[in-house]
Amino acid sequence: MQNSKRPDNGLSYTLRTAFSYWNRTLLYQLMFSFWYFLLFFVGYWYLLQHFGLWDLFMEHKELVQTDIAAFNKKVEEISRLPQARNFALAFLFLMALINPLAVGLYAIYRKIDLKEKINFTDVFAGYQGFAFFNFFAFHLFWIIIFTYANALLLLGIVWYFVTLFSIPLMFFMQIRAFEGISLTFKVLKKNFAVIFISMAVALIFGLSGFLLCGFGIFFTFPFIHAMIYTLYRQYFNEVK
């Protein structure tokens, strides 16, 4: 079984530990970012082409320079087409396929804890064996709920936090998704301030790479997962 614990260290320790994981694995995190954004943009482009949306957008590209309001109206009209709805559904599957990459980062951080040798193949730990289907199904479920919850910003944020540790719990403890949500909620109730501030710092730093000519995102984006793993390690015991 699993149980949660309160760490002996505070916010400063959490931040230092997360930065340590991130700093010690920059090469592997660069590889993670490369595959993440490559799959995202190639997949996004393919779906636009497959459903014929790119050609529809290009028919009105001149409006971007002459009448942006008219262009936005055309985009709104296109978004109501059946193929646009099919694109949106396919995009959910694309994101569910890409997001198991994060499991590889958690596997790498764990090898640091165990002082084991890290291999480049560890980046793809989330795609190994039957567990991949569990991660894929969870991410598909997650993004569907988030899409609807995000209509109200507060609900989207709530959903993000109550599922914050679901993937590490599924990967390291082999528990079911809903049990992971329950355990995450229990930890949040006791340690919300530290977790919220830590994740706020992680998100700000993770997205700050856009300011470095955009390329910096390849280095900073994985820091979000370094923070999630740090918090997971502090608040959960893995009892065999």
The pLDDT tens digits for 163-182 are 999 999 999 999 998 999 99
3-class SS at 4? Answer: strand
- Contact by Cβ (8 Å): 134, 173: no
Dist CA 104 CA 28 (whole Å): 9
Between the CA of residue 197 and those of 57, 119, 175, 203, 219, what are the distances in Å? 40, 32, 27, 10, 21
What would the pLDDT profile of 118-176 be if each residue is shown by its tens digit? Answer: 999 999 999 999 999 999 999 999 999 998 887 777 899 999 999 999 999 999 999 99
pTM: 0.90
From the centroid of its chain, how far is CA 87? Answer: 21
